[in-house]
Amino acid sequence: MAQSVLDRIYAEKIIAIVRGISSAQIVDLARALAEGGVSCIEVTFDQTNLEETLASLRAIKSELGDAVCLGAGTVMTAEQVELAAQAGAEYMISPNVDEAVIRATKALGKVSIPGAMTPTETAFAYQCGADIVKLFPAGLLGPAYVKAVKAPLKHIPVSAVGNITVDNCADFIQAGAVGVGVGGSLVSPLLVKEGHFDKITATARAYREKLR
């Protein structure tokens, strides 16, 4: 199962980062993203309201099933790994490197994508069992930074997250990233609130076109 999830992430090259969207609108959003060719969707934990995040994960899994490759983001504890997995998440993404979170994820047979910035953090995350290391905030550091980190660590798959746009996303792939994570530039809370899901679908298509 973990390998098929990884294969899908590698094939699409993009994970949509969903943050601050209510569980009432989450399914319509996920459907809009999938229609635009972005089916890898990360629902981030609201650390002040875990149940709302879990409700969103369960709703997407129940309504869309395998049409979406579902992950949980901002996973900060081993307990959150367990809760997210029970709600249907197949991969766990964190903003940091936490050995307990990585090992808990792997123990459940899920895909681990912790966040790191430095070569030391990147190497340690991989040593702990990470499948992909999320370089964050990659957009602020630029594709050249990704290329520099990859030079001595070419055996470690990395993704680029943070200020990734339609215009620069392909540059990070060319620099050596296996994929990108995109938040507000793709999943606009305002567009969701106003129900403009067609615009989100169009943006998703634009990203996929650039990443082909």
- Catalytic site positions: 42, 134
Residue with tokens 């966040």, as numbered in its chain: 115
Whether omega for the bond prior to residue 137 falls within 30 degrees of 0, making it cis, is yes
- Which amino acid is it at 26? I
- Which amino acid is it at 38? V
Residue whose C-alpha is closest to residue 158's, from 207, 141, 82, 36: 141
Nearest-angstrom CA–CA distance, 113 and 179? 12
Nearest-angstrom CA–CA distance, 98 and 146? 21
Residue whose C-alpha is closest to residue 111's, from 126, 136, 83, 131: 131
